[in-house]
Amino acid sequence: MLKMTSLRRLVHSRVLLHLSESPGVHSSLPRCARLLSTSSRCRTVMPAWVIDKYGSNEVLRFTKNASFPIINYPNEVIVKVFAAGLSPIDVAMRGGYGAATLSMKRDPLNIKQSGSEFPLVLGRDVSGVIMECGLDVKHFREGDEVWAAIPPWKQGSLAEFVLLSANEVSHKPKCLSHIEAAAIPYVATTAWSALVNTGGLRKDNCANKRILILGGSGGVGTFAVQMVKAWGAHVTVTCSQNAEQFLRGLGADHVVDYTAGPVEEPLSALEKFDLILDNVGGDTESWALKLLKPWSGAKYVTLVTPFMQNTDRLGVADGMMQSAATVASKALKIRPVVEETFSFSQVPQAFEKVEKGHARGKTVVQISKGGDDV
């Protein structure tokens, strides 16, 4: 496994239960040779939503001629996508967020021309079925149901198929449908990064701690509420009035309506907090720090800027998806919160939904029907 260390450091999402033990060997074989895989299938194109430049929703384009993924390394898998979850990072990437950083990840030697990432497929969450395995893939086989948080420098899940390294996927919990599963990977890894890696929270040290989640009704917020509540924390959240009952149903102990006036005033009247998770941003930090318990190691963690700026700071590491998946599917029975599901033809409408904000969980696109989603 140590042989893969340098490669793993490039993969920020770290979402697999099992790590590949063999180093990848690049293939220069023609598209149909597939001698690095267990399958002799040969396809050249597939349907997908792509962008050819950065911009607003108008840059989204549907095509039936997107390049079919090719297994170039023996530890890779091709996943048939059943459902794709959308997050604010997808909207940001559509507009060019992180373009320079991601270009360096895709082409560290700067060999390719500028714009070589296009046509670009967005979508960071995926739930689907393994269609093809590289020869070194030990823990998966064709037909296995899997889920993943896709690294932002790779082609995404708004396509019929997606190519991933075997250490980026894990087996989907059987208790979740593909639509439910597609709502979890990105928010699970993000919440785990913020609360555990940075916040220092654990199941055995969370009891009676006071946690404040600013903006609790979105994807990360709804996951975080359930996780720390299950660990015994006292959870306060901010949200709009019409989300209060929804969040209380997820376990929130105290809800503050941010539409009723300056939210810092009612929060200042409460007992101080051990940890604040900020999903709102703006001028929040200017007053939120005053709500922390003094001289106690209390922490303020912000997730306003998405993946690229937070990953290194939050320490997204190997095994994170294993931990998050355990939290979601076994130890805590966390409920996936899917606010709305769109069909594959409605991807622009799904982006509009995410862009408007004020979410009640995740927005999911059903790419194809299969299994318990039929």
Structure tokens at 330: 């076994």
Over residues 30-42, mean pLDDT: 62
pLDDT of 128 > 50? The answer is: yes
**What pLDDT does residue 283 have?**
85
Angle ∠(47,144,8) on CA atoms, nearest 5: 80
Check whether domain 187-326 has CATH 3.40.50.720, yes or no: yes
- Condensed to tens digits (0 to 9), the pLDDT of residues 312-327 reads 344 344 445 555 555 5
Structure tokens at 250: 């997820």
Maximum C-alpha span of the chain: 67
Question: Which residues have C-beta within 8 Å of that of residue 316, sequence separation ≥ 6?
Answer: 12, 13, 14, 189, 193, 197
Write out the DSSP string of 15-48.
--SS---S--------TTT-TTBS------EEEE
pLDDT of 328 > 60? The answer is: no
- Condensed to tens digits (0 to 9), the pLDDT of residues 94-108 reads 998 777 777 777 777
Instruction: Name residue 84's amino acid.
Output: A
Rounded alpha-carbon distances, angstroms, from residue 249 to 107, 128, 215, 217, 360: 46, 29, 16, 11, 12
Q: Would you tell me how many other CB atoms lie within 10 Å of the CB of residue 61?
A: 15
Instruction: Name residue 86's amino acid.
Output: L
Looking at the domain covering 4-184+336-366, what would its CATH class be? alpha beta
H or E, element range at 356: helix 347-356
Q: What is the distance between the alpha carbons of residues 189 and 9, in angstroms, rounded to a whole number?
A: 16
Task: Report residue 35's pLDDT band, with 50, 70 and 90 as the boundaries.
Answer: low
Task: Report residue 81's pLDDT band, with 50, 70 and 90 as the boundaries.
Answer: very high
DSSP-derived secondary structure letter, 247: H
**What pLDDT does residue 323 have?**
53
Q: What's the distance, CA 133 to chain centroid?
A: 23
Instruction: Identify whether the C-beta of residue 125 lies closer than 8 Å to the C-beta of residue 87.
Output: yes
pLDDT of 118 > 50? The answer is: yes
pLDDT of 41 > 60? The answer is: yes
Question: Which residues have C-beta within 8 Å of that of residue 8, sequence separation ≥ 6?
Answer: 14, 19, 167, 318
Instruction: Identify whether the C-beta of residue 8 lies closer than 8 Å to the C-beta of residue 319.
Output: no
Does this chain's domain 4-184+336-366 share its CATH topology with 187-326?
no
- Condensed to tens digits (0 to 9), the pLDDT of residues 345-361 reads 999 999 999 998 888 89
Least confident of 51-60, 275-284, 309-318: 309-318
Structure tokens at 363: 């927005």
Strand partners of residue 83 = 127, 366
pLDDT of 8 > 80? The answer is: no
Q: Hey, where are the domains in the chain? A: 4-184+336-366, 187-326
**What pLDDT does residue 370 have?**
64
Q: What is the distance between the alpha carbons of residues 207 and 230, in angstroms, rounded to a whole number?
A: 9
pLDDT of 281 > 90? The answer is: no
Over residues 65-90, mean pLDDT: 95
pLDDT of 371 > 60? The answer is: no
Instruction: Identify whether the C-beta of residue 8 lies closer than 8 Å to the C-beta of residue 320.
Output: no
